[in-house]
Chains A and B, each alone.
Chain A
Amino acid sequence: MTKPIKHPRPGVDWETRAYWEGCGRHELILQRCRSCGTLQHRPRALCVSCLSDEIEHFPASGRGTVYSFTVTHQNQAPGFREALPYVLAYVELEEGVRLLTNIVGCSPENVRIGLPVEVEYAQLEGDIAVPRFHPL
């Protein structure tokens, strides 16, 4: 079983606040451009396809599959050195976006590319949470 990770607090600014506050409500928020329909992540103030600022936020399903992963055996950073070995992964959401994340709640040796996973949230101080994934 994976050990508990103490996630460092992400830096939050005007452009990314909706995402992190969404995580605090246990919603995985993605962006869509109202002008051209482009889906984008990470959040930005403008659509990077057409530069429109008509950006809407919507909650993703929170389900996806492992696109790639690495079981990490060495990291000196606090929060992670106590959690070794932990699983760093790209998860491809049903919506097509890929998120860098951790896979938790299973034995690291059971993680495979293509494994179906679902989001869960690690609550940090304040109203922010860090999304990560466990096997479905």
Chain B
Amino acid sequence: MSLSRSIAIAGVHEHPTRWAPDRTASQIMAESARAALEDCGLGLVDVDGLFAAGMEMGPMGVVTLAEYLNLKPRYIDGTNIGGSSFVAHVAHAAAAIHAGLCRVALILYGSTAASNAMAIGTGGQIGRDPATAFSTPYGLTTVGSYALVAQRHMQKYGTTSEQLAEIAVTMRRHAVLNPVAKMRSPIRIEDVLASRMISEPLHLLDCCIMSDGGGALVVTSLDHARDLKQKPALLLGSGEAVWHQEIGAPDLLTIAAKQSSDEAFRMAGVTRDEIDLCMIYDSFTITVLVTLEALGFCKPGEGGSFIESGAISLGSALPVNLDGGGLSSNHPGMRGIFLVIEAVKQLRRECGPRQVEGAERALVHGTGGLLSTLHSGATLILERDR
């Protein structure tokens, strides 16, 4: 039996906290695990596969987490490919379940990045690692890495700051409809353009917010998921990719999402026209624009006009990030897990005012790392069970 359409996401939970000075990252993961298992009607005793990654977790982080949860999984995966890790974990869990290596996989993330005052976007890189020696002497920041892509895109295609700002405005409009989103006051394009410049051409409001938070996913076979409490979200296709400097001549405008989504669409056997909504890692506005192009929803260079036409707004042909995304809802250091959680909730049609009407199929794409030096991409295509 093919892997596609045989595995499902059965339970999800997004921790509602955005500021948790009174919690640890492990606690947020455990609370999320409890709620996601309750969501589908399982218990910790049913879990035999554990998947996690985190900025606050050491190299043996998953082992420490298993100890914290008093779990003895028979399948363990601590893959860390940056913020996209959890999107990849779903594919890895599906492969493990399909191969019979585990039956119920729990995927966890938790972080107190904001209350710990972690400087992620503009903390700069320090350290003497020879592998990063070619960027550390120059003051590369996370924002700067994405800004290099934005500048190149603007020069090559005439993309404007207003077009990028439209992404932030749209995410905020969606966040207004999400009761747990951190930023819920509407903004206009002028507000984005008037916000402080961080790394040209990216303003403060072109950058994702900082928050605490976490979440959990429960993955199992479709047959098992159908016996549980919630309508399953089937996994149709998945893909992963790593993009890097290619022996010293990076093409900043072709990103990992091209390879990973081509693979995911091939596996899923559906076309782009059949996708009802997208969850795209919006670390910065430019990330959404180049990802939409790489996913094939518009041609290279046409991202700006595509977005300007209102195409990614709720009620349009391809609504993106209905929860408000990292730009407005939450961004506790790594965001991949929230992309999957919102996609599943949309497919279950439980999102109230921000619900995409009749949502049948969702595409999830996570970007991890620094877009212009070294990054990963992971794509999933999910479908509402019949």
Task: List the interface of chain A (C-beta within 8 A of B).
Answer: 5, 7-13, 15-16, 20, 38-42, 48-49, 67-80, 83, 86, 88-90, 92, 96-102, 113, 130, 132
Contact = CB atoms under 8 A, between A and B. Distances in A.
A31 to B, nearest CB: 9
Contacts of A48: 247
A12 B133 contact: yes
A92 B252 CA distance: 12
25 contacts: A8-B128, A11-B127, A11-B128, A42-B245, A67-B252, A68-B155, A68-B252, A69-B148, A69-B151, A70-B144, A70-B150, A71-B197, A71-B200, A74-B196, A76-B119, A77-B124, A77-B126, A77-B139, A78-B126, A88-B148, A90-B148, A99-B134, A100-B135, A113-B151, A113-B152
Nearest to B373: A100
A12 B252 CA distance: 26
Contact of A75 (B129, B139, B250): B139
A39 B248 contact: yes
Contacts of B197: 71, 73
A67 B198 CA distance: 20
B138 A68 contact: no
Given A70-B148, A90-B250, A90-B372, A75 B134 contact: no
B130 A11 contact: yes
A79 B248 contact: no
Residue among B123, B129, B136, B373 with the highest chain A CB neighbour number at 10 A: B136
A100 B123 contact: no
Nearest to A98: B249
Contact of B248 (A5, A40, A77, A88): A40
Contacts of B141: 72, 74-75, 77, 88
A80 B148 CA distance: 18
Residue among B135, B136, B201, B247 with the highest chain A CB neighbour number at 10 A: B247
Given A74-B198, A97-B249, 6 more contacts: A10-B134, A42-B245, A70-B144, A72-B200, A75-B144, A76-B124
B286 to A, nearest CB: 11
A5 B140 CA distance: 13
Contacts of B134: 10, 42, 99-100
Given A75-B139, A80-B139, A68 B151 contact: yes
Contact of B200 (A13, A38, A49, A70): A70
A80 B130 CA distance: 20
Shortest 4 CB-CB distances between A and B: which pairs?
A77-B124, A11-B128, A41-B248, A10-B133
Contacts of A38: 247
Interface in B137-187: 137-141, 143-144, 147-152, 155
A102 B124 CA distance: 14
B190 to A, nearest CB: 19
A15 B148 contact: no
A130 B137 contact: yes
Nearest to B253: A68
Contacts of B372: 68, 90
Contacts of A88: 138-141, 144, 147-148, 199
Contact of B147 (A40, A70, A98): A70
Contacts of A75: 122-124, 139, 141, 144
B132 interface: yes
Contacts of B149: 68
Given A68-B148, A69-B151, A74-B198, A8 B248 contact: no
Interface string B79-109: 0000000000000000000000000000000
